[in-house]
Structure 1
């Protein structure tokens, strides 16, 4: 698998814009590291709601079990960012997302990160296979090579 630094905008299949805010900057005048996780959560949940039918009362919820981020270049207010989303790995009850953060108009990411969701029953918190609409929506974010690997 290629380095996250080598990824470009064309590697991602779903996008969301984000206008940075003054409060996003830290004392060094760049977007604080913690804000990146807010961005990851925003694009993932936007996709799950818009394309997978997840609602606030869905029987199944996703719990984050791991997360990561690599930073390549600083961003700061008042830049507009483009968030790109793809699925790196899709299991029967889990999904690993990859999110790239681009400065608007730039094809090279300033940061790449993501997290893994394990889908569980809302009440029991026991891992359960994804519903068909959820799996179908997430499958649409797999690249051709990743689709082949997820079938193995």
Structure 2
């Protein structure tokens, strides 16, 4: 087992900064009586996009009318609230460029799951997320997966020279962790 996989297998709930609960459905099970692989992609998409909408100003429902009052990149003011300032609406979209999923133990209906989210890499225009899947009442991680987004201009679907918008970056910075801890999970500020 590679070091990366070994570290992921030792993840704890506390290694993740943002959490979301998911109640499994009968429909989620496959013929082997565990969650179908495609359900994990939906779970990852759900927690990541919930965070982007609630903390990064990436509201898909107002995408045709983004607010022109984006934060000034040269500003040194930082917000201490739990979300991006309400006036910020991103004019970018995140395009998935890669994904992965490592399975350690199965879950199935009627399990209640706790999803944990963290950012393992934050670049100029890209971000790599990691999602841990835990069964309610258990500390052992069942699945670790995620994907990489590249943020692009909505109109051209191409990265901009400026990279990701400041409001999006500020929200994502709150999820950044490093993998320097012995158990594999770096710590970040809790939301």
TM-score (norm 1): 0.92
- Cα distance in 2 for partners of 1:13, 1:65 equals 23
Q: Which residue of 2 aligns with 1:69?
A: 101
> What is the CA–CA distance in structure 1 between the aligned matches of 2:135 and 2:111, rounded to whole Å?
7
SS in 1 for 2:127: strand
Q: Which has the larger radius of gyration?
A: 2
| Between structures 1 and 2, the one with greater strand share | 1
- Give the aligned partner of residue 29 of structure 1: 33
Q: CA deviation at 1:143?
A: 2.1
Pairwise CA distance, 1:117: 0.1
Partner of 1:8: 12
- Is 1:138 equivalent to 2:172 in the alignment? yes
Aligned counterpart in structure 2 of residue 92 of structure 1, from 88, 99, 124: 124
- Which residue of the other structure, out of 104, 109, 113, is the alignment partner of 2:145? 113
Q: CA deviation at 1:97?
A: 0.1
Which of 35, 41, 64 lines up with 2:45 in the alignment?
41
Unaligned runs of 5+ in 1: 148-152
CA distance in 1, matches of 2:177, 2:122: 11
RMSD after superposition: 1.6
Instruction: Give TM-score scaled by structure 2 length.
Output: 0.74
Answer yes or no: is 1:125 the counterpart of 2:157: yes
> How far apart, in 2, do the equivalents of 1:33 and 1:71 lie?
9
Return the alpha-carbon distance in structure 2 between the equivalents of residues 63 and 111 of structure 1: 23
CA displacement 1:51-84 (0-9 Å, x = unmatched): 1111110420000000000000010000000000
Q: CA deviation at 1:90?
A: 0.1
Residues 48/110 of structure 1: CA separation in 2 closer, same or farther (3 Å cut): same
Unaligned regions of 5+ residues in structure 2, if any?
64-89, 181-185, 187-191
Structure 1 runs (4+) deviating above 6 angstroms are none
Query: Alpha-carbon deviation of 1:144?
Result: 5.8
